[in-house]
Amino acid sequence: MSEKKLPLSSNEFINAIKDIPTPFHLYDEKAIIDNAKAFKEAFAWAPGFTNFFAVKACPNPSIIKRLAALGFGADCSSLPELLLSKASGITGERIVFTSNDTPAEEFRVAYELGAIINLDDVTHIDYLYNALGGRFPELICFRYNPGPDRTGNAIIGNPVEAKYGVTKSQLFDCYRKAKALGAKRFGLHTMVASNELNGDYIVETARMLFTLVNEIKKELDIDIEFIDMGGGIGIPYRLEDERIDLNELSSKIEKLYKDYNQKVRLTFECGRMITGPYGYLVTKALHVTSKYKEYVGLDACMSDLMRPALYGSYHHITVVGKEDMPKDHVYDVTGSLCENNDKFAIDRKLPKVDEGDIIVIHDTGAHGFSMGFNYNAKLRHAEYLLTADKKLVMIRRAETYDDYVKTLRFEGAEVEV
């Protein structure tokens, strides 16, 4: 069973946020740092172990810099993510650039930054070569899609139907071609599931990659320098979920590492499991109403957290100050978009909610703010960091109307030169 607590007591929490307009995203600095250290320590046996933090999970330099100070790298999927990583002090081979249907400009910037380029498709080899003006990286990586040999999940999809990665036969051709174009160092990547809570699934991914490393060496006489396990380690969104035991997971992978006589570096791209449990969407009940069902309407909406609408995902909800009251009311907890799926929870048992109650939605530290959008001209909200000394520091201000219209061109608009 997982436990869902606020990073402060109810009274401390209410006092800390009394002057901050809701909604906003809040991150617990100490918990994130402690969790990141625990991940590193669990895999301390692995030579050169690195976690490339998935920037897509929480693209804020105030978070990324703190992880960089622990030796984390960055997993990037776009030009802005590359630039955010650079601004956070992460460059060179501390970046892995994995994208699909990638514009030439983004490949060029990744190359200029010295990032590890991880190709998603066999056709990208020539595309990259041409994008770089007839050059090719000395270090190259390929993303493997095992197809029918593995099952995926709802988030990342069944490997056979997923758009990501190369097939096994293509993989060997990719290394041959890359070597012919001048590549001298090689990596192997996969990501076949997301938010996985079965540690044995991650272990089997390691087994799959260790097997491939040995097959590639035997058939192509190519030494794979590192394997990238991708992300995929899940977090316990539901109370009944069990968190993966990182030490147990690491121990099982270490045994495989020795059994398969490996010398490769082991890397991950975990984002969700690093920051996810330690982020909170802090919002307020604006309306409590009864129609055919009972509703709690919040001042946040799915533009602040779209996972429940997109995936039907569960996020635990705390009514601050009423944690010990009986959960004897059943509500749909909704936002203000003109979309009926703008709901954070459906038929959720909660204590009686009153207008003005502070509502905290848990586990939003990954793929929360970062998946936000501006539909209905909703403005994106602020991010705050709860520092180790229990102070709230703004790390991203809320958008304004001026921000929203800044790129528009209409009569009377200010035009930047």
Query: Catalytic amino acids?
Result: 338
Nearest to 350 by CA among 325, 327, 332: 327
- With a CB cutoff of 8 Å and minimum separation 6, the contacts of 399 are 379, 380, 381
Return the DSSP state at 166.
B
d(CA 118, CA 165): 10
Nearest to 95 by CA among 70, 69, 68, 59: 68
Query: DSSP string of 367-387?
Result: TTGGG---GGGPPPPEEEEE-
d(CA 85, CA 217): 33
Measured between alpha carbons, how far is residue 76 from residues 105, 272, 297, 340 in Å?
Answer: 14, 14, 36, 33
Amino acid at 249: L
Structure tokens at 316: 């635990």
d(CA 312, CA 237): 12
Residue for token pair 């204590």: 351
Nearest to 153 by CA among 208, 117, 196, 215: 196
Q: Is 101 left (phi over 0), alpha (psi -120 to 50) or beta?
A: left
d(CA 268, CA 48): 12
Residues 166/209/214/171 CA torsion (nearest 10 deg): 0
Helix orientation angle between 29-42 and 246-259, rounded to the nearest 10 degrees: 30
Burial 319-335 (b: 16+ CB within 10 A, else e): bbebeeeeeebebbbbb
